[in-house]
Amino acid sequence: MTSTTPVDPKDLRSALGSFTTGVTVVTTRNDGQDAGVTVNSFNSVSLDPPMVLWSLAKSAGSFPTYHSAEHFAVHILAADQEPLSQRFATKGIDKFAEVDFHRGVGEVPILDGCSAVFHCKTVYRYEGGDHEIYVGQVEKLEHFDRKPLVFHGGKYALAVPKKKPDPLADDARTRGFSANSLTYLMGLVYFQLMQRATAQLADRGITEAEMAALNILAIDDGRTAEEIDAMVRISGYRIDNDVLQHMADKKLLALAESADGVRAKLLDAGRELQLEQVAFIQALEDDALPEGAYAETVLAKELLKTTARKLLKS
Ligand SMILES: Cc1cc2nc3c(=O)[nH]c(=O)nc-3n(C[C@H](O)[C@H](O)[C@H](O)COP(=O)(O)O)c2cc1C
């Protein structure tokens, strides 16, 4: 069939991209040959009997394998399976090399780590222009509690549910701030975590400013008080020679005269303390985050990084 409508394929692809989908890998085995393709044309068809569909480009290298296959399996990819999606969307490679799988209904390869797997028997095949449409009856399904990978506008994305209003909105401590204020929420989380972290520092006789200086020296040793001060100032701490002298008294660092001022070098005790504190804060953060919030955590970090870059530039 030839196209009779003046629809530009590029426009069509771009407009279809505004329809957000999950990402699946459809696998099959036919005549002793395994095949797997990344697919987002997957959809549900019928609940009773349970049926699903997807379509495959006739130009796909694996088209002959699917065309007469009796079974296929649809894998709904999890948020961390972007590499798997890319692998099964790449032509001309051994797609199953270095991929963990076992055999399912009809000896079809079943990939590990997905959100859901539908083991299907091919019940209908339809012509679909440059694609062929496959309808499968679901013979077995597996469902795991994993966040899905999302595809939108030609890019991979993560799904974040819109939250309902929560008790935080009525918290008296919002003190006039809206509980939807990012600044308030960041402050709340930051101070709650830092209260715990500084309590542990205080037990060891270390101030927050001293800790900030240790963090700088751990990355870039041998700096002057002035240089360290310039770098920690964005966090609100101030460092001068007196602070460094206190730290030297505690054997956290050694001070040495140089042409442009006194330079601080970390001693073993300072280095160890810094590493322990980083691990302690990481553990606090891990404990504080809700379980299974992988997608939300990645998104929150990206948002904060972008905001931080913007603020540092202005
Ligand atoms: C997110 C995503 C969704 C895709 N969806 C489909 C699809 O629904 N149908 C299709 O034929 N190809 C789709 N592709 C392209 C195929 O995965 C790709 O062309 C694959 O390499 C074809 O298989 P082959 O290696 O057997 O040629 C998609 C690719 C990506 C990255």
Q: Give residue 34 CA to ligand 1 midpoint distance, Å.
A: 16
Q: Give residue 83 CA to ligand 1 midpoint distance, Å.
A: 14
Strand pairing class (71-76; 116-128): antiparallel
Could you tell me if 105 and 123 are in contact, meaning their C-beta atoms sit under 8 angstroms apart? Answer: no
Q: Give residue 71 CA to ligand 1 midpoint distance, Å.
A: 18
Tokens 């199953």 belong to residue? 96
Query: What is the pLDDT, as a whole number, of residue 236?
Result: 86
Q: Give residue 252 CA to ligand 1 midpoint distance, Å.
A: 57
pLDDT in tens, 140-150: 999 999 999 99
Return the closest-CA partner of residue 22 out of 35, 36, 39: 39
Q: Give residue 38 CA to ligand 1 midpoint distance, Å.
A: 5
Residue 107 C-alpha from the chain's centroid = 32
Query: What is the pLDDT, as a whole number, of residue 59?
Result: 98
Distance CA 180, CA 36 (A): 44
pLDDT in tens, 209-238: 999 999 999 999 999 999 999 999 988 899
The DSSP letter of residue 168 is: G
pLDDT in tens, 234-254: 888 999 999 999 999 999 999
Distance CA 89, CA 26 (A): 11
Report how far apart the first and last C-alpha atoms of the chain are (Å, whole number).
Answer: 57
Query: What is the pLDDT, as a whole number, of residue 181?
Result: 81
Where do the CATH 1.10.10.10 domains begin and end in the chain? 167-313
Q: Which residues line ligand 1 (CB under 6 A)?
A: 23, 37-41, 55-57, 60-62, 85, 89-91, 151
Q: Which of 23, 30, 40 for mutating ligand 1's site (highest number of atoms within 8 Å of CB)?
A: 40
DSSP lists the bridge partners of residue 107 as none
Question: Which ligand 1 atom sits nearest the alpha carbon of residue 42?
Answer: 8
Query: What is the pLDDT, as a whole number, of residue 2?
Result: 53
Instruction: Work out the burial of residue 217: count CB atoms within 10 Å of its CB; fewer than 13 is exposed, 13-18 middle, 19 or more buried.
Output: buried
Task: Just give the CATH number of 9-158.
Answer: 2.30.110.10
Q: Give residue 57 CA to ligand 1 midpoint distance, Å.
A: 8
Where do the CATH 2.30.110.10 domains begin and end in the chain? 9-158
Q: Which of 12, 23, 38 for mutating ligand 1's site (highest number of atoms within 8 Å of CB)?
A: 38
Output the CA angle 285-295-299, nearest 5 degrees: 80
Question: Which ligand 1 atom sits nearest the alpha carbon of residue 92?
Answer: 25
Question: Which ligand 1 atom sits nearest the alpha carbon of residue 56?
Answer: 11
In the predicted structure, residue 271 carries a pLDDT above the cut 80: yes
Distance CA 38, CA 56 (A): 10
In the predicted structure, residue 273 carries a pLDDT above the cut 90: yes
Query: What is the pLDDT, as a whole number, of residue 204?
Result: 87
Question: Which ligand 1 atom sits nearest the alpha carbon of residue 60?
Answer: 27
What H or E segment, with its residue span, contains residue 288?
helix 268-288
Query: What is the pLDDT, as a whole number, of residue 168?
Result: 64
Task: Just give the CATH number of 167-313.
Answer: 1.10.10.10
Both tokens of 139, joined, read: 């013979």
